[in-house]
Amino acid sequence: MEQQQLIDGITDHFNHQVPFHQLIGIEVIDVSAAHTLIRAPMKPELIGNTFQQILHGGVTATLLDIAGGLAAMSGTINKLSAIGIDEVVKRLQKISTIDMRVDYLMPGRGDYFEAEAHVIRHGNRVAVTRMALKNESGNEIALGTATYSVS
């Protein structure tokens, strides 16, 4: 129950209180232990290559990083019973990306985009996640791998 409250709190925070999330227009769809999913609609101001009318690579990187960071946070919330609510909240506010790789697979065309992430290395200090960005047809636009500081 308390875990779900933390997840609801983060979801609300991500959806309504992070300025750059608002600018891009992201919405958190799902946060569970094994999986996170966010969505962002295509908008004219997210275009990078005007000749091809496709998503800017920086938007792609942003969406992957948000989904990955959320997965790292979800992993931290899972440690609630072990480390307690105060420690979890403290860690959640400090989680940060150490490094990220993005692989761009095809031009970012679509009506909306979904970034999903899952944790591939659960550590006490570092979490590593893998992410995928797809459009509404399920085409894989980009894949990512990121390392987060979680303590």
Which helix (H) or strand (E) covers residue 141, if one does?
Answer: strand 140-149
**CB-based contacts of 83: which residues, under 8 Å, 6+ apart?**
91
Kindly write out the interface string for residues 83-122 of this chain, putting x where it contacts a second copy by CB under 8 A and - elsewhere: ----------xx-xxxxxxxxxx-x------------xx-
For position 45 contacting a second copy by CB under 8 A, the verdict is yes
24 close to 59: Cβ distance less than 8 angstroms: yes
Q: Among positive and negative, which fits the CA dihedral 16, 43, 114, 128?
A: negative
Do 142 and 149 form a contact (C-beta atoms < 8 A)?
Answer: no
**Contact with a second copy (CB under 8 A) among 5, 8, 9, 18:** 18
Interaction mask 59-88, a second copy, x per CB under 8 A: x-xxx-xx--x-------------------
- Which residues are at the interface with a second copy (CB under 8 A)? 13, 17-24, 44-52, 56-59, 61-63, 65-66, 69, 93-94, 96-105, 107, 120-121, 123, 125-126, 128, 130, 140, 143, 145, 147, 149, 151
